[in-house]
Amino acid sequence: MATLKISARVNRIAAASAIAFTIALGTSGAVDAQPRASAEAHGEEADLPVLPFTVVNAYDPPAKNWLAGHRGIDVEARVGQKVQAPHESLVHFAGVVANRPVLTLKLTNGDLVSFEPVDPQVTTGERVARGEVVGKIAREGQEHCVEASCLHIGLRRGGEYLNPLILWREVRPKIILLPPL
Ligand SMILES: [Zn+2]
C-alpha cells in the first residue's frame, strides 16, 4: 500500500462546481502503519484521525458569522471505527451537544479540534498522546452526512474557525485537482 488517497467533494456549494481532490503520498513508506505529516504551529508530526482519510465535504465557512456554512470538514468513517488523536492534547470536552456526541481536544498550542459524532473513550481533563485512540465513530448524529456515515472535524484557533486540513499541512501541496464530477 503506502499510498494514501484523499478525495474531497464540495457538495455544499453546488453540485456543478463539485471538485474532487486526490492526494497521493507516494510509496516512500511515509504512510505505512502510522501516516504522519507536519502540522502548522506545532513543529511536530500529526496523525490522521481515521484511515483512510477521505474528505467528503469540504470546509465552507459562511461569509458572515451568523450565516449558515460548514465550519469544518467531513471525512468518510464507519460507525464503530476508531478515532486517533492527531497530537498530544488535553480532552477539553467529551459530551453531547444538540444530540450529537462531541469530543474536543485542546492541543498544546491551544488549538481546539472537535470530532463528531464520536463516542469518547476518554474523559474531560484527561491527557492523551498523539495517535492514541480517543473514541469510536458513533451511530447517533450521523444525519450530518447524507450519503454515508462520516466524521466531522472542526478546528478553532483563538475563537475563530479554520480549515482543519491545516493540521496536516504537508499533505495539502500534494493535492491534485481533478475535473468536476
Ligand atoms: Zn461537517
How confident is the model at residue 18, as a pLDDT?
31
- What are the domain boundaries of the chain? 15-178
CATH class of the structural domain 15-178: mainly beta
**Across residues 22-33, what is the average pLDDT?**
33
Task: Output the CA 116–ligand 1 centroid distance in Å.
Answer: 8
How confident is the model at residue 34, as a pLDDT?
36
Grid coordinates representing 137 are 465513530
How confident is the model at residue 172, as a pLDDT?
47
* Phi, psi at 174, each rounded to 5°: -90, 5
Higher pLDDT, 146 or 58: 58
pLDDT reading at 19 higher than 80: no
Task: Output the CA 172–ligand 1 centroid distance in Å.
Answer: 19
**Across residues 30-47, what is the average pLDDT?**
47
d(CA 95, CA 167): 23
How confident is the model at residue 44, as a pLDDT?
59
pLDDT in tens, 67-112: 889 999 999 999 999 999 999 999 999 999 988 999 999 999 999 9
pLDDT band at 170 (very low <50, low <70, confident <90, very high): low
Task: Output the CA 72–ligand 1 centroid distance in Å.
Answer: 5
Share of the chain above pLDDT 90, in %: 52
Grid coordinates representing 123 are 474523559
